[in-house]
């Protein structure tokens, strides 16, 4: 018989993962915005560097958020490790 998957995961743990990845995404976007505004101020134009940095921050943001979520979910533990769901059983 194959080992089942944990039935219940700590919801506070999931909340922590979501919060950390969301805050990290916000920080990356904020740095892109502030860096773009600073570069625009240096070159004396209004807009192009900000737009380019914000566009470039989107794939970086997605990559970092996925990596962070995968790393953090590895450390989540089931609330009750004795309760499992077999792969053959389907829950309704």
pLDDT, tens digit, 9 for 90 and up, residues 3-31: 555 556 677 778 888 888 899 999 999 99
**Rounded distance, CA 7 to CA 84, Å?**
5
Residue 83: the pLDDT is 58
Residue 20: the pLDDT is 87
**Can you read off the two tokens belonging to residue 57?**
């921050």
**Can you read off the two tokens belonging to residue 82?**
């004795």
Angle 9-25-54 from CA coordinates, rounded to 5°: 155
- The count of other CB atoms within 10 Å of the CB of residue 35 is 15
Report whether pLDDT(1) > 50: no
């Amino acid at each position: 018989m194959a080992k089942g998957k944990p039935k219940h995961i700590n919801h506070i743990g999931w909340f922590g993962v979501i919060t950390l990845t969301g805050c990290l995404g916000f920080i990356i976007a904020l740095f892109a915005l502030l860096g773009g505004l600073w570069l625009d101020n240096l070159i004396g134009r209004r807009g192009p560097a900000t737009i380019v940095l914000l566009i470039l921050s989107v794939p970086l943001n997605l990559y970092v958020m996925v990596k962070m979520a995968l790393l953090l979910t590895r450390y989540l533990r089931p609330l009750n490790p004795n309760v499992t769901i077999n792969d053959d059983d389907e829950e309704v």
